[in-house]
Structure 1
């Protein structure tokens, strides 16, 4: 039976993109040393949108989550 790895560490940060929009990023380091990243965008007049990315590489997980979020914004 396959068990999903559990998070062992959480890192959060916020950045502002080229359109001056604040994006929150949460990166979970999993027990198997893979990474799961979530991005979140919210404004007062808009519904919260979220993106998700998963990879063995931390930066790639973040990039995939940002790409997923941008797909939803467009």
Structure 2
């Protein structure tokens, strides 16, 4: 999800090595791109939970992303902008 919002792979400026892997295990996450919609940001943070049981499943993700997309379509339709 971060790669979609940023347009680049996460940790692009880091060596992809043992130290990076350990930092990620210990909770390091990429900085969220300014301007990322709050709903999308919250969903992304849920996906980063250290406990796999607390992460959303694919069905939940699909539903939430569709909701986010639909809400932006509705906003743009009322403003006369096509998505």
TM-score by length of 1: 0.25
- Return the structure number with greater strand share: 1
Which protein has the larger Cα radius of gyration, Structure 1 or Structure 2?
2
TM-score by length of 2: 0.23
- Return the structure number with greater helix share: 2
